[in-house]
Amino acid sequence: MEENFKMVAKTLFGFEDILANELIQLGAQEVKTGVRNVSFVGDKGFMYKANLALRTATKILKPINSFKIKTEQDLYKQIYKMDWSKYLKSSGTLAVDATVNSTVFTHSLYISQKTKDAIVDKFRDETGERPNVDLKFPDLKINIHIDREVCNVSLDASGESLHKRGYKTATNIAPINEVLAAGLIILSGWDGQSDFMDPMCGSGTMLAEAAMIACNIPPNLMRKEFAFERWQDWDVELFEKIEESLLKKTRDFHHKIFGFDKSPSAVTKAKENVQNAHLEEFISIKHEDFFKTQKGGDEKLHMVFNPPYGERLDIEMESFYKNIGDTLKQNYPNTDAWFITSNLDALKHVGLRPSRKIHLMNARLDSRLVKYEIYAGSRKGKYMK
């Protein structure tokens, strides 16, 4: 039996509870939410599964040590004391990533450097040989997190952020992060039981994530590599078994997913990305201006989108957001429309009352995910039935 150990899944602000729920559904033990992270317990196979299957995690870390430090010299000594031969060969390569929240230690690059020096010196003293640094494809990626006087040392099991799913080769001017897109769709409560639409689909991220959620397809199947594949205890047979068991849990989807964009180049890119993800049978994308479209049929429609913010795209905000509200109200009855924005002033121009507002961060932008329920007929009519 593989032994269990503690892991930490990192995520975006506001997604902690949905990530915890994802972990519970996957079978994690001792799930606890923090700020932008969720800790849990599982074995090596579960670590592989978490990296493959979690939609709202950006990284999976495996903590291996924790200690108190007051000076940089303390950090060096404690790192030097550790038995690094368990994780790395003297001829191997490493990279160190540090985050600091401390008045004493203020420079994360310096902390990374000090950690690397301690590990390299230890190997040189014991074997006469030293590992090299490789920032792109190291055999071991180490994560140092200093919070005031406590230093946590972890192995990075993921490598590149898990939002890099591997299907997106083409992006537009302001692409949405895949983890953010998946989190928005989960927060919106979409369960694959209705049609789904992104009326401003850009490079197609929202559509691809929606399709994978609907069909229960693991989001990171397309990844070229996870960091744990270079670890000394890498078990390719176990990994393939986990992959196979996840693929057996995919399900059928009996509705439509469609996207519009008024930019022909965005439509081309979105189609390419959807094809890369092997999701073209579920998704159709058209070159359309949302403001000139209307809903086909009476069935319930679930809409999630990321309208331009004016941060990187030049638009006239007031009239743009007013157009969103008018188009929804006049042309999209029986629709639950959700969108994220960091332009909180522009929301006032939508002209509809949101039924929900969820506080999130989009990169460093303070944002809101808002929901507008557009009824078939008047709202009053709905309650008089």
Tens digit of each residue's pLDDT (9 = 90 or more) over 348-362: 999 999 999 999 988
0.75 surpassed by pTM: yes
Pairwise CA distance, residues 358 & 368, whole Å: 5
pLDDT score of 281 = 95
Task: Read off the pLDDT of each residue in 139-162 and give the average, rounded to a whole number.
Answer: 96
pLDDT at 274 over 90: yes
pLDDT score of 312 = 47
Residue 2: pLDDT band (50, 70, 90) is: confident
Share of the chain above pLDDT 90, in %: 85
Pairwise CA distance, residues 246 & 352, whole Å: 41
pLDDT score of 171 = 62
Tens digit of each residue's pLDDT (9 = 90 or more) over 226-264: 999 999 999 999 999 999 999 999 999 999 999 999 999
The conformation of residue 288, written as its DSSP 8-state character, comes to -
Tens digit of each residue's pLDDT (9 = 90 or more) over 118-130: 999 999 999 999 9
Q: Render the burial of 155-167: b for 16+ CB within 10 Å, e for the rest.
A: bbbbbbebbbbbb
pLDDT score of 174 = 60
pLDDT score of 292 = 97
Tens digit of each residue's pLDDT (9 = 90 or more) over 62-92: 999 999 999 989 999 999 999 999 999 999 9
SS3 262: coil
pLDDT score of 103 = 84
Q: Are 181 and 211 in contact (CB under 8 A)?
A: no
